[in-house]
Amino acid sequence: MPPDDTPAARSIFDGAAREYDAARPSYPAALFDQLEAVAGSLAGRLVLDWGAGTGISGRQIAERGARVVLLDIGEQMLRFAQTRDPRSPCVLADGNQMPLRAECTDLTTFAQSWHWFAKPAAQAEVARVLRPGGYWAAWWSRAKADGQEWFDRYEDVITAACPRYTWRYLGDELLAPDWADSAVVAAGRLEPVAPTVVPWTRHVTAEQWITDERSKAYIIDLAPEARESVLRQVADIIANQFPDGQMAVPFITTLLMARKSG
């Protein structure tokens, strides 16, 4: 049975887990092609997917033959992940202090989640659990429709209402948070790889877009009345631009990687 709606207090996303599972987009195949071009084939590799949420990235990694363990602090999020794919183990745990032995994994992945972890604690934990030659990988997807009138209006509404919303001010290459000032890198334990930006187009219905918005931290933060007001404004903007309810929006996914020495 699907999870109930009872939120666990550990994760801000648990209360919106159903919306997250229903409408968050998957990641472009070219992202995983690039990851494999750097780290090698995923087939047969052990991957720890941290901040796994409802298992979106984990399922895509598993489809390439990897053995995936999903880890998150959100109980409701992991319940959805387990329902979607019961083959991948789910662990309710804090990535800043991983309940795992040293040098146990080939790859640690953080899909849309690395900015939630405490540095340098999480960096040190990644370095500890990776096998020599293993990789840390983190990526973020975001709409990149700057200059389109509807999208500028949409960002005006979100920026005005949501202090947590910062995507508008980032460049094409998401260079932070990264490993630049990490004591782990300074000690020579992890070697950064140049960032990669993967452009793609997201095809989504207007209804799915609004459902996806409900799963965003900057929307969840709002008081209920303010949240509904923002979403009504966004829905009106989308309806004017896409009267048939079918959206095609330019996106980019930025991939950061680092390799454990040895």
Our measurement of the distance from residue 169's CA atom to the centroid of its chain's CA atoms, rounded to an integer in Å, reads 18
Among residues 67, 170, 130, the alpha carbon closest in space to that of 258 is found at: 130
Q: The dihedral of CA 117, 118, 119, 122: what is its sign? A: negative
Among residues 179, 111, 100, 101, the alpha carbon closest in space to that of 139 is found at: 111
Whole-model pTM: value is 0.91
Which residues on neighbouring strands pair with residue 159, listed in sequence order?
Answer: none
Preceding omega of 120 cis (within 30 degrees of 0): yes
Residue 58 has pLDDT above 90, yes or no: yes
Q: What is the residue whose two structure tokens read 């604690």?
A: 121
Confidence at residue 34, expressed as pLDDT on a 0 to 100 scale: 98
Token pair in block for residue 92: 């309710």
- For 99-143, where are the E strands, in sequence order? 105-111, 130-143
Q: Pick the residue with more confidence: 121 or 168?
A: 121
Average pLDDT over residues 7-20: 82
The CA distance from 61 to 18, in Å, is 22
Specify the range with the lowest mean pLDDT, choosing from 66-75, 114-123, 143-152, 249-258.
114-123
Residue 143 has pLDDT above 50, yes or no: yes
Our measurement of the distance from residue 38's CA atom to the centroid of its chain's CA atoms, rounded to an integer in Å, reads 20
Q: What pLDDT, in 10s, does the model give residues 118-138? A: 888 888 899 999 999 999 999
Residue 17 has pLDDT above 90, yes or no: yes
The CA distance from 203 to 251, in Å, is 10
Specify the range with the lowest mean pLDDT, choosing from 70-79, 90-99, 175-184, 244-253.
175-184
Residue length, the chain?
262
One-letter amino acid at 160 equals A
Q: What pLDDT, in 10s, does the model give residues 27-45? A: 999 999 999 999 999 999 9
Identify the three-state secondary structure at position 255: strand
pLDDT band at 7 (very low <50, low <70, confident <90, very high): very low
The CA distance from 225 to 227, in Å, is 5
Token pair in block for residue 98: 């991983």
Among residues 110, 118, 105, the alpha carbon closest in space to that of 260 is found at: 105
Beta strands across the sheet bearing 246-260: 90-92, 67-72, 46-50, 105-111, 130-143, 246-260, 190-205
Average pLDDT over residues 163-167: 85
- For 154-215, where are the E strands, in sequence order? 190-205
Q: Which of left, alpha, beta for 48 (phi over 0: left; psi -120 to 50: alpha)?
A: beta
Residue 1 has pLDDT above 50, yes or no: no
Confidence at residue 4, expressed as pLDDT on a 0 to 100 scale: 41
CATH superfamily of 14-144+169-203+251-260: Vaccinia Virus protein VP39 (3.40.50.150)
Buried/exposed 241-260: b ≥16 CB within 10 Å, e otherwise: ebeeeebebebbbbbbbbbb
pLDDT band at 170 (very low <50, low <70, confident <90, very high): low
What kind and span of H or E run contains 32? Answer: helix 29-39
